[in-house]
């Protein structure tokens, strides 16, 4: 029987072949992705010699995928339907590896190699799913059988899905560049704080799908964006971030903070939590802000590459948290106090004469499902949160090159007449992880 590393190497080869030759059905890919990501997380959990940051990367991807699985079926896109055979096969391979008896005899070196193979496979597949979702808009333009309503609905959701997978791709690619023992460095500790907040925010939004949790997460995210902006300002003063990137990033971070604050304000009006918000969410948020504040005022940022990697990691996390918050508003069970709903809707829609909630529910102080008007008031700032997070993520594309280039690497190469071969550790037809599109 082949070893776990060999099994995962075959899974990675399957992913590479699919990436460059698999017929793509975007909706089937999105439907099946949660199964694959969850199976990858089960495998990482089962492996010995745990590496906290690498394992957390896969957990973050799996939590975001779980949010997709909750909201996929009710949507007009992707909706219910068939699964993608390649992603389903990869999930089966991950589960088979997780159940292998050879996991207990793996050496630390083999465990590290196995983790990298899982991340490489997730990176390839998330890129394929994201590209397929992105291309839906282009395909719809040339489809005479698609109505304008369907075109608008499918295009909007598929575009948001493409943004989300671009961020997921960054998470997987960032995990591939993590050194072993990274949390022992200052930059590693900051990245661990980013990962912990990401996990806690997703768990909270998935664990209690209510306006109360949405309010708390939005409030903490708004405060984190403020702290992150100060961190970026400090990094720019120290020369870690170039002037142009900082000038482009500052206004969109301000807009992002305002969007989260607006979402927090509306959610507070409809406050309704089924269970207490976990204390670990507040601890993670405070720790993240503390880390940002500390790095914003230190005279020497330490490892510049690590700092740049944390910036990309946090902005990718912001995209997935915003997308998960947006998913929450598609939950038909989300509810709020009848009296508050009637008051807020009447204030924002003064010309509307119809009653959005029954008078008896208002009189008895009942909790009712949010009507479409109330949902609209939440969806607008939530959409703005997602778009501003994606815009901030896109505007830092130049940091990827800075993070992967040392001062020595940037010097002009010595002229030579020799024919240069392919770079080491690269396979034919495969490019190193690059995530910005």
206 pLDDT higher than 80: yes
End-to-end CA gap in the chain = 41
Question: Regarding predicted confidence, which is higher, 409 or 239?
Answer: 239
Average of per-residue pLDDT across 181-205: 85
Q: What is the pLDDT of residue 351?
A: 79
Span 79-133, pLDDT tens digits: 778 899 999 999 999 999 999 888 888 888 888 899 999 999 999 999 999 999 8
Which of 216, 212, 218 is closest to 259 using CA atoms?
Answer: 218
Helix axes 338-348, 243-269, angle to 10 degrees: 120
Contact predicate 56/112, CB 8 Å = no
Q: Which residues contact 26 (CB under 8 A, 6 or more apart)?
A: 78, 129, 132, 133, 135, 136, 158
Lowest mean pLDDT among 63-72, 248-257, 316-325, 353-362: 353-362
Helix axes 372-395, 243-269, angle to 10 degrees: 160
71 pLDDT higher than 60: yes
Which of 234-238, 273-277, 364-368 is most confident?
364-368
Structure tokens at 366: 């009942």
Helix axes 148-176, 372-395, angle to 10 degrees: 40
Q: Give CA–CA dist 312/212, Å, rounded.
A: 29
Average of per-residue pLDDT across 2-20: 91
Q: Give CA–CA dist 130/127, Å, rounded.
A: 5
Q: Which residues contact 410 (CB under 8 A, 6 or more apart)?
A: none
Other C-beta atoms closer than 10 Å to the C-beta of 339 total 16
Torsion sign (Cα): 365, 371, 376, 382: positive
| Phi and psi angles of residue 369, each rounded to the nearest 5 degrees, phi first | -65, 140
| Phi and psi angles of residue 200, each rounded to the nearest 5 degrees, phi first | -65, -40
Structure tokens at 271: 């406050």
CA dist list (Å): 357 to 48, 329, 349: 54, 18, 14
DSSP for 251-309 reads HHHHHHHHHHHHHHHHHHHT---SSPPPHHHHHHHHHHHHHHHHHHH-S--S-HHHHHH
3-state secondary structure (DSSP) of residue 180: coil
427 pLDDT higher than 80: no
Q: What is the pLDDT of residue 367?
A: 92
Q: Give CA–CA dist 57/171, Å, rounded.
A: 7
Question: Regarding predicted confidence, which is higher, 303 or 208?
Answer: 208
Span 275-300, pLDDT tens digits: 889 999 999 999 999 999 888 776 56
Structure tokens at 183: 């949390």
Q: Which residues contact 31 (CB under 8 A, 6 or more apart)?
A: 72, 78, 80, 81, 82, 83, 84
Structure tokens at 352: 């509307």
Q: Give CA–CA dist 207/201, Å, rounded.
A: 10
Q: Give CA–CA dist 123/53, Å, rounded.
A: 16
Q: Could you tell me which residues are beta bridge partners of residue 369? A: 335
Q: What is the pLDDT of residue 214?
A: 95
How does DSSP classify residue 184? Answer: G
Average pLDDT across the chain, whole number: 84
Q: Give CA–CA dist 94/235, Å, rounded.
A: 40
Lowest mean pLDDT among 41-45, 134-138, 275-279: 134-138
Q: What is the pLDDT of residue 225?
A: 96
| 420 — pLDDT class (breaks 50, 70, 90) | very low
How does DSSP classify residue 431? Answer: -
Place of tokens 């690059």: 434
Contact predicate 404/423, CB 8 Å = no
CA dist list (Å): 396 to 99, 239, 425: 40, 15, 27
Q: Give CA–CA dist 311/290, Å, rounded.
A: 15
Q: Which residues contact 241 (CB under 8 A, 6 or more apart)?
A: 232, 235, 249, 308, 311, 399
Q: Which residues contact 283 (CB under 8 A, 6 or more apart)?
A: none
Average of per-residue pLDDT across 369-386: 93
Lowest mean pLDDT among 145-149, 174-178, 417-421: 417-421
Q: Give CA–CA dist 299/258, Å, rounded.
A: 29
3-state secondary structure (DSSP) of residue 18: helix
3-state secondary structure (DSSP) of residue 358: coil
């Amino acid at each position: 029987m082949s070893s776990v590393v060999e099994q995962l190497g075959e899974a990675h080869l399957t992913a590479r072949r699919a990436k460059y030759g698999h017929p793509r059905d975007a909706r089937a890919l999105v439907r099946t992705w949660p199964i694959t990501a969850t199976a990858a997380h089960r495998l990482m959990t089962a492996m010995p010699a745990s590496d906290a940051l690498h394992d957390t990367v896969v957990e973050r991807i799996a939590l975001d995928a779980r949010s997709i699985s909750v909201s996929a079926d009710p949507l007009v896109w992707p909706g219910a339907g068939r699964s993608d055979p390649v992603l389903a096969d990869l999930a089966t391979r991950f589960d088979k590896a997780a159940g292998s008896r050879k996991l207990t005899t793996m050496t630390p070196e083999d465990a590290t190699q196995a983790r990298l193979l899982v991340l490489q496979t997730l990176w390839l597949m998330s890129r394929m799913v994201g590209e397929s979702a992105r291309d839906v808009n282009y395909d719809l333009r040339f489809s005479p059988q698609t109505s304008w309503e369907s075109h608008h609905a499918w295009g909007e959701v598929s575009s948001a899905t493409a943004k989300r997978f671009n961020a997921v791709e960054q998470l997987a690619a960032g995990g591939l560049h993590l050194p072993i023992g990274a949390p022992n460095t200052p930059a590693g500790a900051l990245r661990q704080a980013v990962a912990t907040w990401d996990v806690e925010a997703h768990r909270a939004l998935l664990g209690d799908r209510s306006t109360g949790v949405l309010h708390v997460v939005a409030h903490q995210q708004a405060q984190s964006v403020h702290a992150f902006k100060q961190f970026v300002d400090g990094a720019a003063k120290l020369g870690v971030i170039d002037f142009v990137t900082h000038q482009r990033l500052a206004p969109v971070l301000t807009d992002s903070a305002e969007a989260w604050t607006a979402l927090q304000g509306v959610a507070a009006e409809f406050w309704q939590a089924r269970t207490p918000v976990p204390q670990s969410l507040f601890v993670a948020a405070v720790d993240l802000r503390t880390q940002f504040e500390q790095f914003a005022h230190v005279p020497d940022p330490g490892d510049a590459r690590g700092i740049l990697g944390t910036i990309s990691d946090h902005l990718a996390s912001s995209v997935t948290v915003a997308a998960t918050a947006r998913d929450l508003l598609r939950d038909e069970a989300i509810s709020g106090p009848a009296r508050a709903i009637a008051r807020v809707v009447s204030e924002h829609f003064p010309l509307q004469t119809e009653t959005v909630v029954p008078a008896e529910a208002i009189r008895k102080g009942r909790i009712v499902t949010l009507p479409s008007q109330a949902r609209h008031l939440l969806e607008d700032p939530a959409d703005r949160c997602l778009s501003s997070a994606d815009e901030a993520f896109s505007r830092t594309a130049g940091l990827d090159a800075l993070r992967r280039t040392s001062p020595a690497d940037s010097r002009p190469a010595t002229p030579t007449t020799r024919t240069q071969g392919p770079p080491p550790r690269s396979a034919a037809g495969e490019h190193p992880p690059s995530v910005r599109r």
